[in-house]
Structures are given as C-alpha cells and as structure tokens.
C-alpha cells in the first residue's frame, strides 16, 4: 500500500505562486471533463498566505501554503452523509460527484479550510493530489511547477523515498487536532 503525501520546504519557498498557477492550469481541464462544461473556474484548491515576521532589520517573510492535507483521519470524510467524500487507496481525499448532494457539511468540517464551493459544480471542490497524474506515475502539478523544488511529493510509507526521509524532520500541520495530516512543512 502506498501512502502519498507532501513535504513543503518553507525555507526554500520564494512565494512565487507558480504552484497555484500550475494547479489551476492542470485541473481546469480535469474539471471540464467531470462537469461537461466549457469553462470551470478554479478558485481555492491551493493558495499562498504571505506573512511578514520579525522586526527591523531582521525581517523575513514566510510563505504559508493553504491546501488539503489529505488527512488519514479526515473530518470531511467523517461527516459526509452519502460517502461522496472518501479516502482513496493512494491516501488521497477525493469527492465522488455522482453521490455529492452539495450540503457543504464537509466544508464546515475541514479545520484547514481546504475546500470551497465551486459554482460550476454546485458542490465542494478541493485538491485531488492530481490523482489522474499520480495514477499514471507522474508528480502533481504543484510539485513540477515549483522552481525551487520546495514541494516534494512521494510515498510516506517507503522508508527509502526522499519524502519519508524529509518528513522525519518536518512538522505535520495541525497534528494536535487528531486529523493525521499527510502534508508536512520544514520551517523557515
């Protein structure tokens, strides 16, 4: 069994936003296939939140990444009435739109605010870990768009993989909430 996850190295992230652009570019096409619409705007699968820290003259900026943690114990999956939100075999938290009624319970349940209402779908939309790419053996769009290789994707259960070595020194975000997130950050 694989257990895919992300490590984001905040010490090398320059906050350029290429990951956001790459994500939108890749997934607009994917959503068009699901919803049979010519244009499906994506506006919240992944975002950056830039925070300035320190005091003059030692000032620095932290570029936080806002996206899905693909929790192993996902609150959104726990509350979904129809089982439309589910955790796939690869460890990705996904939405099955054949069963989603658009009640938005999952959006209020997510403590990371990783979901948003996509008007074209009428329901929640979220990071899919680019599962259509991952199943073909490719890396997610955010990972390949990053110019400084700050987003590392891979199998957390494989002890030899780069990500599982890095994750030992990284912090899983909001771990204390008991969600068992699979997105780790290396502090700046």
Partner 1 sequence: MSDILFVEQSWWGWLIAGYLFLGGLAGVAVPVSFYIWYRYRSKRLSYGGGVVAFVAMIIGLLLLLLDLGRPQEVAALFFNPNINSSSWMTIGTYIIVIFTIVTALYIYPLIPWRMPLKAIFGENYIKTTGFIASIFGLTTAAYTGFLLSAAKGVQFWNTAILPILFLLSAASSGICGVYGGIVIPSYHFRNRNDSDSIGKIEIVLRRYELFLLLAELFVLFSYLNVSTWKGPGAVESVNRLITGDLSISFWIGVVLLGFLLPLALLLGYVLRKEKVPIMFSVVMGASVVIGTFIMRYVILEAGVIPVPLS
Binder to partner 1 among 89, 98, 136, 160 (CB under 8 A)? 98
Judged by DSSP in three states, 188 sits in coil
Q: For partner 1, which is the closer residue by CB, 2 or 109?
A: 109
Residue 102 — left, alpha, or beta (φ > 0 → left; ψ -120 to 50 → alpha)? Answer: left
CA distances from 149 to 9, 19, 28, 38, 134 (A): 8, 10, 23, 33, 18
Query: Taking the complex as a whole, how short is the minimal distance between the CB of residue 103 and partner 1, in angstroms?
Result: 6
Q: In this structure, are strands 4-9 and 183-186 parallel, antiparallel, or unpaired?
A: parallel
- 66 or 131: CB nearest partner 1: 66
Residues in 24-63 that interact with partner 1 by CB under 8 A: 49, 51, 62
- Alpha-carbon distance 144 to 134, whole Å? 12
Q: Give the separation between CA 132 and CA 1, rounded to whole angstroms.
A: 18
Q: Which is nearer to partner 1, 44 or 91 (CB)?
A: 44
Smallest separation (angstroms) from partner 1 to the CB of 32 = 17
Given the complex with partner 1, which of 98 and 160 has the nearer CB atom? 98
How far apart are alpha carbons 106 and 80 in whole angstroms?
6
Within residues 162-181, the interface with partner 1 by CB under 8 A covers 171, 173-174, 177
Q: List contacts with partner 1 (CB under 8 A).
A: 10, 49, 51, 62, 64, 66, 75, 78-84, 97-105, 107-113, 117, 121-123, 171, 173-174, 177, 185, 187
């Amino acid at each position: 069994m694989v257990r895919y996850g992300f490590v984001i190295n905040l010490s090398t992230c320059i906050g350029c936003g290429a990951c956001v652009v790459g994500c939108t570019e890749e997934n607009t096409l994917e959503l068009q296939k699901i919803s049979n619409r010519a244009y499906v705007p994506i506006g919240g699968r992944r975002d950056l939140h830039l925070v300035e820290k320190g005091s003059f003259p030692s000032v620095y900026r932290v570029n936080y990444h806002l996206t899905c943690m693909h929790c192993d114990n996902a609150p959104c999956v726990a509350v979904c009435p129809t089982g439309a939100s589910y955790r796939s075999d690869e460890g990705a938290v996904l939405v099955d739109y054949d069963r989603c009624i658009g009640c938005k319970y999952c959006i209020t349940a997510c403590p990371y605010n990783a979901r948003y209402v996509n008007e074209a779908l009428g329901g929640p939309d979220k990071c899919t870990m680019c599962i259509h790419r991952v199943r073909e053996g490719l890396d997610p769009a955010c990972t390949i768009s990053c110019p400084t290789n700050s987003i590392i994707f891979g199998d957390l259960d494989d002890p030899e993989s780069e990500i599982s070595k890095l994750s030992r020194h990284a912090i899983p975000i909001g771990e204390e909430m008991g969600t068992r997130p699979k997105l780790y950050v290396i502090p700046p």
